[in-house]
C-alpha cells in the first residue's frame, strides 16, 4: 500500500496547497492520501486571530474536497503538544508496517530537513516527496537529494510542480484589506468571511456578486445606488466608506423574499414580530436581512444594526445608522416630490434630513390609508424634539 502524507498548518488552506495536493495525487497515485492539519505547528507560531485547530480542519475539508482520494486526517489534532511529523509517521508505520510512506514537503522545508525533530527516523521510514518550485529549483534540489542519499541512505523523489506563488501570511494580510479571494477556493473564502477569521473583511466585488443570487433583477440598480450613496455620505460625515458600502450592498438581501419565507426566517432567527409588522410584510425584511447578513457574511454589530433599522428608523440612531437610512431614501434611482431638498439636507444637516425623511414617510403611509409603524412615529418625534 502506498500512503502519502501532506501536513501543514494550512492557515488558511489556499489554492497553492490544493494545487500541490493535486500534483501529489497525480504523480504518486497513492492508495491513501492523508491531508494532516497541524494542531500546534512546531516550526512557527500561529498568527493572531487564527482559527482554532478544529476550524482549520473544516477549512481543509472545504479546500481539498475535489482532490481525488484525499482524506482530511485528525491525527495531529488529537494529540497534545507540538505536531511533529515524527509522531504522525510513527503511528502510521505501526498501523501499516508494510506500507510505503511518502512524506510530502516543499522546497524550503526540504532544504532544512536535517533540523527536523527525529529526522533520522523519518528518512528510515519514508520516501521524501519534494514539491519543486519550477525548473530553477532543479540543481539545488538534486544537490540536497544526493547529500541525503549519501549521508543517510534516504529515498527522495522530486515531483514536478508549477506552484502558485503565494503564502498563507500574504493571504492573511490581504484578507484584512478586503482581498485574498483570488487565492482561495470560494468555499474556503466564504467560510472565512462568514466567521471573520483573520479579521477578514469581504471583498466588495465578491460581495456584490454574491448578492445577485438574493435580488430580483429590478432591485439590483437600487442596491447599487444605495451603496454608492452610503459611501458618499460616509465620506462626507467621517464614517468608514468601505463599511458603508458593505451595509449598502447587504441592506435588502431578503427584500425579494415572499411573506411566507420571511416568516420562516423569523422563526429560524428567533425574531418576534408584533401585529403591525405582520400586517405589513415590507417591515420584516430589515430584521431578517440583518440576521441573514450576519449568518452568511459575518457582519459587525455596526452593519447589523444599520440594516435592522434602515426601513423604520428609531429614536437616537447612530451616525452610521442614519447614513444607511438616508442612503436608501435618496439613492439615484429614487424620484419623488421633495427628494432634491432631502438630498441637499443629507449633506448639510443629517438630523434635519432625518426629520424631513421620516415626516415624508409618515405622510405617504397615511395617504395610503395605513397607520405608520410605531418605531417610525417615535423616531420622528425624537428627531423633531432634538431639532427644537
Asked if residue 83 lies in contact with residue 90, where contact means CB atoms within 8 angstroms, the answer is no
How far apart CA 344 and CA 103 sit, in angstroms, is 66
Average pLDDT value for the chain: 92
Identify the structural domains of the chain with CATH numbers, from first to last.
2-183 (3.40.50.620), 202-387 (1.10.3210.10)
Residue 144 has pLDDT above 80, yes or no: yes
User: Quick one: pLDDT band at residue 142, thresholds 50, 70, 90?
Assistant: confident
Residue 121 has pLDDT above 60, yes or no: yes
Among the ranges given (26-35, 163-172, 198-207), the one the predictor scored with the smallest mean pLDDT: 163-172
* Coil, strand or helix at 7: strand
Q: What is the pLDDT of residue 38?
A: 87
- What are the beta bridge partners of residue 6? 35, 104
Q: What is the pLDDT of residue 43?
A: 66
Among the ranges given (108-122, 234-248, 307-321, 337-351), the one the predictor scored with the smallest mean pLDDT: 108-122
User: Quick one: pLDDT band at residue 378, thresholds 50, 70, 90?
Assistant: very high
Q: Please compute the mean of the pLDDT values over residues 166-187 and round it to a whole number.
A: 95
Asked if residue 20 lies in contact with residue 8, where contact means CB atoms within 8 angstroms, the answer is no
pTM (2 d.p.)? 0.93
Residue 98: phi and psi, rounded to 5, are -100, 0
Q: Give the side-chain half-sphere CA count within 13 A for 218.
A: 2
How far apart CA 72 and CA 58 sit, in angstroms, is 9
Q: Please compute the mean of the pLDDT values over residues 197-208 and round it to a whole number.
A: 97
Residue 157: phi and psi, rounded to 5, are -125, 135
CA 267 to chain CA centroid, Å, is 25
Which range, 35-44, 103-112, 129-138, is most confident? 103-112
Q: Please compute the mean of the pLDDT values over residues 173-190 and round it to a whole number.
A: 97
Nearest to 295 by CA among 203, 258, 287: 287
Q: What is the pLDDT of residue 42?
A: 66
Q: Where are the alpha helices (DSSP H) in the chain?
A: 15-28, 53-63, 85-95, 107-111, 119-125, 138-152, 168-176, 186-195, 204-211, 220-237, 241-250, 259-269, 275-279, 284-297, 301-308, 319-330, 339-346, 350-367, 374-387
List strands edge to edge, sheet with 70-72: 70-72, 32-37, 2-8, 100-106, 126-131, 155-159
Asked if residue 237 lies in contact with residue 230, where contact means CB atoms within 8 angstroms, the answer is no
The angle that helices 241-250 and 220-237 make with each other, rounded to 10 degrees, is: 160
Which residue is associated with the grid cell 492508495? 31
User: Quick one: pLDDT band at residue 3, thresholds 50, 70, 90?
Assistant: very high
The angle that helices 301-308 and 319-330 make with each other, rounded to 10 degrees, is: 50
Record the cell numbers describing residue 380, joined without a space.
Answer: 420622528
Q: What is the pLDDT of residues 216-257, one digit of tens each?
A: 998 999 999 999 999 999 999 999 999 999 999 999 999 999
How far apart CA 386 and CA 315 sit, in angstroms, is 10
Q: What is the pLDDT of residue 182?
A: 96
* Coil, strand or helix at 159: strand
Q: What is the pLDDT of residue 47?
A: 77
Asked if residue 247 lies in contact with residue 324, where contact means CB atoms within 8 angstroms, the answer is yes
Amino acid at each position: 500500500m502506498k500512503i502519502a502524507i501532506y501536513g501543514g498548518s494550512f492557515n488558511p488552506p489556499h489554492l497553492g496547497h490544493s494545487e500541490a495536493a493535486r500534483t501529489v495525487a497525480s504523480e504518486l497515485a497513492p492508495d491513501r492520501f492523508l491531508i494532516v492539519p497541524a494542531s500546534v505547528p512546531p516550526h512557527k507560531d500561529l498568527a493572531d486571530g487564527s482559527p482554532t485547530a478544529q476550524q482549520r480542519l473544516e477549512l481543509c475539508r472545504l479546500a481539498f474536497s475535489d482532490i481525488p482520494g484525499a482524506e482530511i486526517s485528525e491525527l495531529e489534532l488529537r494529540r497534545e503538544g507540538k505536531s511533529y511529523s515524527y509522531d504522525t509517521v510513527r503511528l502510521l508505520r505501526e498501523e501499516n508496517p508494510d506500507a510505503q510512506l511518502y512524506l510530502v514537503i516543499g522546497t524550503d522545508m526540504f532544504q532544512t530537513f536535517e533540523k527536523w525533530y527525529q529526522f533520522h527516523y523519518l528518512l528510515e521510514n519514508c520516501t521524501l516527496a519534494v514539491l519543486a518550485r519550477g525548473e530553477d529549483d532543479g540543481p539545488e534540489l538534486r544537490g540536497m537529494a544526493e547529500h541525503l542519499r549519501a549521508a543517510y541512505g534516504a529515498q527522495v523523489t522530486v515531483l514536478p510542480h508549477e506552484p502558485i506563488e503565494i503564502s498563507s501570511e500574504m493571504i492573511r494580510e490581504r484578507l484584512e484589506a478586503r482581498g485574498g479571494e483570488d487565492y482561495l477556493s470560494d468555499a474556503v473564502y466564504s467560510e472565512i468571511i462568514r466567521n471573520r477569521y483573520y479579521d477578514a473583511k469581504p471583498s466588495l466585488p465578491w460581495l456584490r456578486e454574491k448578492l445577485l443570487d438574493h435580488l430580483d433583477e429590478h432591485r439590483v440598480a437600487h442596491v447599487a445606488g444605495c451603496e454608492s450613496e452610503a459611501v458618499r455620505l460616509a465620506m462626507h460625515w467621517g464614517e468608514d466608506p468601505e463599511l458603508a458600502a458593505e451595509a449598502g450592498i447587504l441592506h435588502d438581501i431578503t427584500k425579494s423574499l415572499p411573506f411566507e419565507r420571511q416568516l420562516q426566517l423569523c422563526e429560524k432567527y428567533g425574531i418576534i414580530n408584533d401585529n403591525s409588522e405582520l400586517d405589513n410584510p415590507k417591515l420584516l425584511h430589515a430584521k431578517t436581512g440583518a440576521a441573514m447578513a450576519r449568518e452568511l457574511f459575518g457582519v459587525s454589530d455596526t452593519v447589523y444594526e444599520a440594516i435592522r433599522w434602515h426601513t423604520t428608523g428609531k429614536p437616537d440612531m447612530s451616525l452610521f445608522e442614519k447614513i444607511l437610512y438616508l442612503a436608501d431614501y435618496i439613492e439615484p434611482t429614487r424620484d419623488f416630490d421633495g427628494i432634491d431638498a432631502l438630498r441637499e439636507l443629507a449633506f448639510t444637516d443629517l438630523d434635519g434630513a432625518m426629520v424631513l425623511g421620516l415626516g415624508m414617510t409618515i405622510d405617504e403611509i397615511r395617504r395610503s390609508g395605513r397607520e405608520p409603524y410605531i418605531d417610525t412615529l417615535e423616531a420622528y418625534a425624537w428627531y423633531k424634539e432634538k431639532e427644537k
